[in-house]
Amino acid sequence: MMWKEKYKVGVPLIDEQHKELFKRLSEFIQVVQSKIPWEEKLESVRETMLFMKEYVIIHFEAEEAYQEKIKYPGIERHREVHAAFKEEVNSYVTLFEQKGLSEEKAQEFSAKLMTWLIMHVCQMDQKIGEYVENKGGEIQ
C-alpha cells in the first residue's frame, strides 16, 4: 500500500477517497509490472482504467463540493487543476478504448497517475486541510 500518514488532509471523506485511489493505483502498478504476458494483464488493465476514469470524477466532485461548502478561497485554481488532470486520464482511456494500449503506454499512465497523485495530495489538497485548521477545526 502506498498510502502514507503525511498524505492525510484531515477531512475523513477526502482521506478515504485518497486511500482508495492509492490502493487501486498500487494494485494497477503491480499488475503492469508483473512478469505475466501482456495479453493476460489486459483485462485487469482495462478494469482499472475504467475505474480510474469514473472514480477520479467522483472524487474530484466530492472534493470540490467540500471546498464550496467551506468557502475555500483556492477553489477556482483547484478546479482547473482537477479538470486538466481529468482530461489527461480521459485521453489515456480513449486511447485504450480505440486503439488498445501498449504495455509502454500503460506504464507511462501508471507512472503519471502516481506522480500526479502524490504531488497533488501533498501540495494542493494539504492546503484545504490547513485552511480548515486555521478556521478552527473540522468543518463538515
Give the binding site for Fe ion (CB under 5 A). Answer: 63, 125
Q: Which is nearer to Fe ion, 48 or 63 (CB)?
A: 63
The answer to whether the CB of 138 falls within 8 A of the CB of 10 is yes
Q: Which is nearer to Fe ion, 75 or 95 (CB)?
A: 75
Q: Which is nearer to Fe ion, 19 or 46 (CB)?
A: 19
Spatial neighbors of 36 by CB under 8 A, at least 6 apart, are none
Nearest residue to the partner Fe ion, using Cβ: 125
CB of 60 to Fe ion, least distance (A): 7
Burial class (CB in 10 A: 0-12, 13-18, 19+), 73: exposed
CB of 64 to Fe ion, least distance (A): 8
Quote the radius of gyration of the chain (alpha carbons, Å).
16
Q: Which is nearer to Fe ion, 51 or 116 (CB)?
A: 116
CA-to-CA distance for 9 and 42, rounded, in angstroms? 34
CA-to-CA distance for 113 and 115, rounded, in angstroms? 6
Nearest one of 135, 125, 97 to 15, comparing CA atoms = 125
